[in-house]
Structure formats: C-alpha cells, structure tokens
Chains A and B, each alone.
Chain A
Amino acid sequence: MNPTGMLAFYAAVAAGLVLLLVVIAGQLSPRRPSPVKQKSYECGVSEPQPTEARWPIRFALVAMLFLVFDVEGLFFYPWAVQIRELKFQGLLCMGSFFAVLGVGYIYARGRGALKWQ
C-alpha cells in the first residue's frame, strides 16, 4: 500500500464517519421551530441588519499579502530539503528571491499596509 492510497482510504473513512455522526444527530434531535426561536441572534438591536453590508477593506489587503507570503513560504520548502546539496548556488538563488520579497515587505510596511487602524 502506498502512502497516498492509505491517505485516500483514511479520507473516505473520516468523511463517512462525519456523515454518519451528522445523520444520527439529525435523526435524534427534536425539531420544534417557532418564529421567535428562528430569528437571527441579536444583542439589543431588534431589527437585524443585512450581513451583505460593507466590511473593512483591510481584510482584502491581508488576503493579498497572505498570497504573496504564503507562496513564498511554499517556495522555501523544496530548497530547504535540498539545502546541503545546493550549497552556495542555492543560497545565492534563494537570497535573490528573498531580497525581492524583502523589498516588497519593506514597501508594504512603509506604506502602512501592515498597520491595523
């Protein structure tokens, strides 16, 4: 059995078990809906606001920064495994990549993208 096959098997077992739990719970739990009970939870304000309303743009900025830095993190891994074989050449290549990202990081930091106000 190869590791990927075992993993797929485990995924199937896990998914099946989650499904089983959800179905059993759905059968056992009572259902007595009432208009008041089914209202969205609110604290004090009686009329719920629609949630498709505006939300801070900062979250989108974080998502963009995340893409850059997480992809960067991903690039580090193959090099990290081979670091002893690649020696100075690998260090040089990765260093240049590092420098480009460093410039990006310093720019983002200078523009205040990392501050949460």
Chain B
Amino acid sequence: MSSLVTFFNETALFGWPLSNIVYLLVLCLVVIVGGMSGMALGTWFERRFIALIQVRKGPNRVGPLGLFQPLADGIKTFFKEDIIPVGVDKPLNKLAPALALFAAMMAMAVLPFGPDVAIPGWGTLTLYISDLNVGVLYLLGVGSLHVYGVVLAGWSSNNKYALLGALRGAAQLVSYEIVLGMSLVGVVMITGEMSLKGIVEWQMNHKIPLVLLQPVAFGLYFIAMFAETNRPPFDLVEADTELTGGFHTEYSGFRYALFMIAEYMAMITVSVVATACFFGGWGGPFGFLPGIWWTFAGILFFFFMFVWVRATIPRLRYDQLMRFSWSYLIPIGLVNLAVTAVAIVVFDAK
C-alpha cells in the first residue's frame, strides 16, 4: 500500500505528480457527474413543482414520487432515432449540441461549491476545480460560448423556425449578457476581487452578504440570469407556441437531450454564481455556519424561483424583451455602477 502511495507521489506525468493527476481527474468527474445528477433532479423538481402549482399530478409513476423519471427519460433518449433532415449543414449540425454542453460544463469549473477541507495525513480537498483570479471574466466569456451552440444549431438546421429562433437567441443572449456583466462589476468593485472564492471570502470576513450592498445589481443579475439560460419568461429562443421549439426544432434523440442538459447545467451555474456573489456563497449570508450546504440551499432557492417564475409570468413579446434590456436594464446598470464607484472612492478609499 505504502509503495503504491510512494509510486503515485513520485511518478511525474507532464511535470505533475501522478497522485495530483488522479485526484484532479476524480474531482473533475465528481463535478461533472454532480452537475448531471443535479440537472436530472432539477428536471424532476421542475415538473413536480409546476404540476403542484397547476393543481395536477406531474410524473409520479417511475419510482417513489416519480424520482426515477429523469433516469428513464435519459435512457430513452439514448435509444431514440436521431433524425437528420435533408439539407442541413452536417458538421455544424453535429457540433452545435456538443458545443452547448461543453460550454455549460466549462462554466462549472470556477464555481466555488464549498470551503477547502483539510484531511489529516492526506492533504487538502478543494471543492472547486480551479480558482482562477479572473473568475468572473472567465464566467462571462465561457457563458457567451453558449450563444454559439444556439446560433450554429439554428443556422445549420435549414429550417425557418430554427433560424428565427437562433437569430432571436443571438440578439437576446448578447443583450442580456451586457446586463449580466454590468451587475457583476459592482460586486468586483466592492470586493476588489475577480476570483469567486475571493468574493465569497470577502463576504465571510465582513459578515455581510453583498445583496445588501448591491441590491440593484442583484435585481439586474436576477433578471439577466433568466434570459441567459433561456428560461421563461425570456424563452423567446424556444417559444414553443410561435416557433415550434426554435433553434432545436430539427433536433431529436440524444442531441436534443444535449441541449436540455446544457440548459439545466447553466441553471445550476447561474444559481451558484448568484449565491456566491450576492448571498455569501458557502460562507453563508452572515458568515454563520459556513459549509457546502449553503451552496445547495442557494441552488434549491434559485431553482424554486426559476420554476415559480415560469409558472407565473407569461412569455414576453420580442420587442418588449429587447426594449426591456436596452432601454431600462442597461441604463439602470450604468447608473448603479457610477453611484457605486463614486461612493467607494469618496467613503471607502484607503
């Protein structure tokens, strides 16, 4: 046993000890598999909860409370025929769903799920993949990769509904991305940190959640996160009633499922970012009982909000959607930024 440990510690591969590589591989798989199971549970939660709101049963046949329904759906998509219509641009058509899922997975890399756990005689366990010092910028960058999935899918499908969905999607996603970026600038200004872990630790040290210091920014972020994940009331990209499914009209089988997995993973990502940037992340809102459960509580809370809003607010019209972003949210974001900057420089500069 000890010789095995020595072997793993002393053998180097590409300049890294083998033990580190094995550890990192396990960590990566845990995060990805965790994201996948979270996504599966998310679909179950959404369907059950929206059924509750609409006074119907929801999926309740497969397993206790219908809990195995996502599993059944997942297995089913593997065995469904993957129909590729005539006239599609095949390479792009195949690339788009894979790219969408890849972007969603990549965004999970910088999420701080929990504090470092020191295991005696072994080392430190980090509950995140990588603590980039430009974490917020990285998130915005990878988040915009998601646009490529939507646009390539719609463009390559040779279907007017798909093309319309993709065009709408591109315009909507880039418009709300500006709002998202502006709402996070306020957080970065106050904490002086772009690493998500640093932002969480700042809130722990000061024992105050940033939502109290940046309520306007949180409001903007909250609205933009619905638009960025294509969730109702901003699901103009899909818009079942007018576009028959929008950018993924021509997708079936497992490649359709890839888009859905990407969407729910993005929901988890934005929930964790909202928790970390505005509610103290794993440190808890007031530095009370820090631990990974705060992250889970945050995910649960925001999933609840996603479903509640979906069941409550009807879909916006497209001109309303664009006007809402450009004429209201962006000016509000700019004013919030200016006020925050002046306040920090006047009252809090060293």
A residues bordering B, Cβ < 8 Å? 1, 3-7, 9-11, 13-15, 17-19, 21-22, 24-26, 28-33, 37-41, 43, 48-49, 51, 53, 55-56, 58-59, 62-63, 65-66, 69-70, 73-74, 76-77, 80-85, 87-88, 90-91, 94-95, 98, 102, 105, 109, 114-117
Contacts and interface: CB of A to CB of B under 8 A. Distances in A.
Nearest to A11: B106
A13 B32 contact: yes
Interface in B12-60: 16, 20-21, 24-25, 28-29, 31-32
A104 to B, nearest CB: 12
A114 B323 contact: yes
B32 A17 contact: yes
A84 B24 contact: no
B349 A87 contact: yes
A7 B109 contact: yes
A107 B342 CA distance: 25
Interface in B257-309: 258
Interface residues of B, number: 83
B115 interface: no
A55 B171 CA distance: 13
Given A40-B86, A109-B327, A77 B136 contact: yes
13 contacts: A13-B32, A14-B28, A37-B83, A38-B83, A39-B85, A41-B249, A80-B185, A90-B345, A95-B338, A98-B334, A98-B338, A102-B334, A109-B327
Contacts of B188: 77, 80-81
Interface stretch (B2-10, B189-197, B204-212, B223-231): B189-197
Nearest to B181: A73
Interface of B: 16, 20-21, 24-25, 28-29, 31-32, 77-87, 94, 98, 101-102, 105-106, 109-110, 129-133, 136-137, 157-164, 167, 170-171, 174-175, 177-178, 181-182, 185, 188-189, 192-194, 244, 249-250, 253-255, 258, 318-319, 322-323, 326-327, 330-331, 334, 337-338, 341-342, 344-345, 348-350
